[in-house]
Amino acid sequence: MANAADSQISPQPPAKPPPRHSLLVRLTHWLNVLVLLVLLGSGLQIFNAHPALYWGHASTFADPWISMTAEPRGQGLAGITQVGGLKLETTGVLGLSDGMQRGFPAWATLPGYRSLAEGRRWHFFFAWLFVFNGLAYLAWGLFSGHFRRDLTPQRRELSPRHLWAEIKDHVALRFPHGRYNVLQKLIYLVVIFGLLPLMVVSGLGMSPGVNAAWPWTFEMFGGRQSARTIHFLSALALVAFVLIHVGMVIASGPLRQLRVMITGGAISPPKPGALS
Amino acid sequence: MTSIPRRGLLAGAGSALLGLTLAGCDQISRNAGVRATLARAEGLTMAAQRLILARGALAREFTAADISPDFRANGSLRPAGVAYQNLVANSFADWRLEIGGLVERPLSLSLEDLRRRPARTQITRHDCVEGWSSIGQWTGARLSALLEEAALKPEARYIVFHCADRLDPNAVGDRGLYYESIDLVDAFHEQTILAYEMNGQVLPVKHGAPVRLRVERQLGYKHAKYVMRIEAVESFAHIAGGKGGFWEDRGYEWYAGI
């Protein structure tokens, strides 16, 4: 309050502090939200065309490591999800929903009705958007110093003591305001340089054209069906990350965090008495 | 306590909003303009793949040990119709492969003729658009040699494969018939063959007897089964739905490299 009053009466407004999130980070972040949502929904639509996963080069139809099917149960059908030797009844969600045999339910797929052709159109269009958006973010992060300044953990942050203290703070839902904490930095680095590139490479690992040009795209996974499995599992990991990420935003002041991610916000001004 | 009804109201509003959003997504997905925009990515995908894909780059070939014992058959498993049944009954002795269109020397080849043409054997992975893969060994006549024998006219740009099966019995006229098309880059590729043998045996009916196309750097639906006639064309816009193939006419990509 005092600051606001000061700036109103001062003839020369103080220099605007740099935003907490730069414009490019905000733009690529929100575009990514839309893009990943479309990729997830259309990806599940594509998965539904053959709701089973395998390891290796080829499908072993009698023995997928996970499958979603419907089987007769009493008068009707039951949705069955099989993972290894485990057989779960998942009627209404997986295997059978709205009285129809399908892997994931209509509300999770894009489009909601069954159309592999349309799912593929959405998926590949947004996959290109994802790549362009990601490249813009990576280039910016590299050249602006965003990765070095904001995401690279400092040596002292990586000490076991500091890590342990931060884990305890997280568990107690106490979040330091201001810059990213080290757990945040580490998980962002894993997602940005691990999980998201893995989505792209495992996706390309399923393309017969790319496979002929760059055989490593499927060989690194041990085969095309392994690439499909890894693509699915890393999508699940990404969903888990988003849930935790949104959970953390909610736990640490959702309105303020959301506002800052949209407007950019400002780095907190130094406290009175602090050395600048 | 108002919290229960309020919570119920919130949940109701939430699911209504979700329902509206989802219905909105379906509306968007059905919109012709949106479909046309999304389809543009196909050109980019094809350009990018052709950029990284040397013309002659081969699809990975596997060993006999990798052959799938459970190679899945998809699409038509046995074409209906007396004409095809008669061909089967006679072990395709009466079958002739017609190669025509924009060629200098139209050909009409029996299965024996085809077996005498330059051949290739390859063990490759078949990738269905649905997501599964099976590995099989294929032996067949090299399409490039056949096209050289027939001598393409300069204006020929695509090779169209007309098939014996009517995969959509409800479609009118030629729209229900299976057909496919590839461009000359793929037509002259070393691994592009008209396969008459699978895993060392005569090609089974469910896999496309007497011959099926193998075009190894694309998805399964490009590998036309029950090939009866090959036509060199400048454009496929006048054929059936005009998109270059049975599945292409139903919204799938003509370039199926992904």
Comparing alpha-carbon positions, the chain B residue that sits nearest to A211 is: B59
Report CB contact under 8 Å: A210, B54: no
The pLDDT value recorded for residue A275 is 44
Kindly state whether residue A198 falls inside one of the protein's structural domains. Answer: yes
The pLDDT value recorded for residue B61 is 98
Closest partner residue to A208 (CB to CB) among B25, B62, B218 is: B218
Which helix (DSSP H) or strand (DSSP E) does residue B212 occupy? strand B212-214
The pLDDT value recorded for residue A12 is 62
The pLDDT value recorded for residue B78 is 96
- Report chain A residues whose CB lies below 8 A from the CB of B53: 209-210, 212-213
Task: Mutation target for B interface from A48, A211, A226: give the one with most B CBs within 10 A.
Answer: A211
- A271 to chain B, minimum CA–CA distance in Å? 41
pLDDT at A276 over 70: no
- B17 to chain A, minimum CA–CA distance in Å? 12
CA dist., res. B51 & res. A251, Å (int)? 48
Residue-level length of chain B: 258
pLDDT at A5 over 70: no
Kindly state whether residue A123 falls inside one of the protein's structural domains. Answer: no
* Mean of all residue pLDDT scores within chain A: 90
Comparing alpha-carbon positions, the chain A residue that sits nearest to B219 is: A208
CB pairs under 8 A between A and B: 133
Closest partner residue to B59 (CB to CB) among A115, A208, A228 is: A208
- Report chain A residues whose CB lies below 8 A from the CB of B45: 124, 128
Helices (H), A145-223: 146, 160-171, 182-190, 196-204, 208-213, 216-219
Kindly state whether residue A127 falls inside one of the protein's structural domains. Answer: no
Where is average pLDDT lowest: A17-21, A234-238, B9-13, B251-255? Answer: B9-13
Report CB contact under 8 Å: B52, A214: yes
Question: What's B241's DSSP letter?
Answer: T
CA dist., res. B85 & res. B209, Å (int)? 11
Report CB contact under 8 Å: B25, A41: yes
Cis before A208 (ω within 30): no
Q: Which amino acid is at B227?
A: V
pLDDT at A260 over 80: yes
Percentage of chain B with pLDDT > 90? 86
Closest partner residue to A58 (CB to CB) among B35, B134, B253 is: B134
The pLDDT value recorded for residue A274 is 43
CA dist., res. B95 & res. A14, Å (int)? 88
Kindly state whether residue A122 falls inside one of the protein's structural domains. Answer: no
Mention every residue, 6+ apart, whose C-beta is less than 8 A from residue B189. B55, B56, B144, B215, B216, B217
Is A46 at the interface with chain B, CB within 8 A?
yes
A51-107 pLDDT, tens per residue? 999 999 999 999 999 999 999 998 899 999 999 989 999 999 999 999 899 999 999
Is A232 at the interface with chain B, CB within 8 A?
no
A139-151 pLDDT, tens per residue? 999 999 999 999 9
- B175 to chain A, minimum CA–CA distance in Å? 18
* Mean of all residue pLDDT scores within chain B: 94
Cis before B210 (ω within 30): yes
The pLDDT value recorded for residue A3 is 47
The mean pLDDT of A200-207, rounded to a whole number, is 98
Q: Which amino acid is at B120?
A: R
B7-44 pLDDT, tens per residue? 666 677 777 777 777 778 899 999 999 999 999 999 99
> What is the widest separation between alpha-carbon atoms in chain B?
88
Please provide residue B169's backbone torsions phi and psi, each rounded to the nearest 5 degrees. Answer: -70, -15
CA dist., res. B139 & res. B114, Å (int)? 11
CA dist., res. B100 & res. A102, Å (int)? 44
Closest partner residue to B133 (CB to CB) among A59, A106, A116 is: A59
The band of A273, judged by pLDDT with boundaries at 50, 70 and 90, is very low
| pTM for this prediction | 0.91
Is A228 at the interface with chain B, CB within 8 A?
yes
Kindly state whether residue A242 falls inside one of the protein's structural domains. Answer: yes
- Report chain A residues whose CB lies below 8 A from the CB of B29: 110-111, 115, 118, 122
The pLDDT value recorded for residue B4 is 52
- Report chain B residues whose CB lies below 8 A from the CB of A111: 25-26, 29-30
User: What range does the domain containing A201 cover?
Assistant: 153-265
Tell me how many domains chain A contains.
Answer: 1
Q: Which amino acid is at A30?
A: W
Asked whether this complex has an ipTM greater than 0.90, the answer is yes
The pLDDT value recorded for residue A268 is 62
- Report chain A residues whose CB lies below 8 A from the CB of B49: 207, 209-210, 213
Report CB contact under 8 Å: B38, A122: yes
Kindly state whether residue A219 falls inside one of the protein's structural domains. Answer: yes
The band of B54, judged by pLDDT with boundaries at 50, 70 and 90, is confident
The pLDDT value recorded for residue A20 is 83
pLDDT at A202 over 50: yes
- Report chain A residues whose CB lies below 8 A from the CB of B124: none
The mean pLDDT of B174-179, rounded to a whole number, is 95
The mean pLDDT of B98-112, rounded to a whole number, is 98
Kindly state whether residue A121 falls inside one of the protein's structural domains. Answer: no
Closest partner residue to A212 (CB to CB) among B57, B128, B131 is: B57
Report CB contact under 8 Å: A213, B66: no
Is A114 at the interface with chain B, CB within 8 A?
no
Query: Between A10 and A200, whose confidence is greater?
Result: A200
pLDDT at A152 over 80: yes
Q: Which amino acid is at B93?
A: A
Closest partner residue to B49 (CB to CB) among A113, A116, A209 is: A209
Comparing alpha-carbon positions, the chain A residue that sits nearest to B37 is: A125
pLDDT at A176 over 80: no
CA dist., res. B140 & res. B156, Å (int)? 23
Kindly state whether residue A84 falls inside one of the protein's structural domains. Answer: no
- B110 to chain A, minimum CA–CA distance in Å? 32
The pLDDT value recorded for residue A266 is 79
Count of helices and strands (H, E) across chain A: 11, 6
The pLDDT value recorded for residue A13 is 60
Closest partner residue to A111 (CB to CB) among B29, B134, B217 is: B29
Closest partner residue to B125 (CB to CB) among A58, A107, A112 is: A58
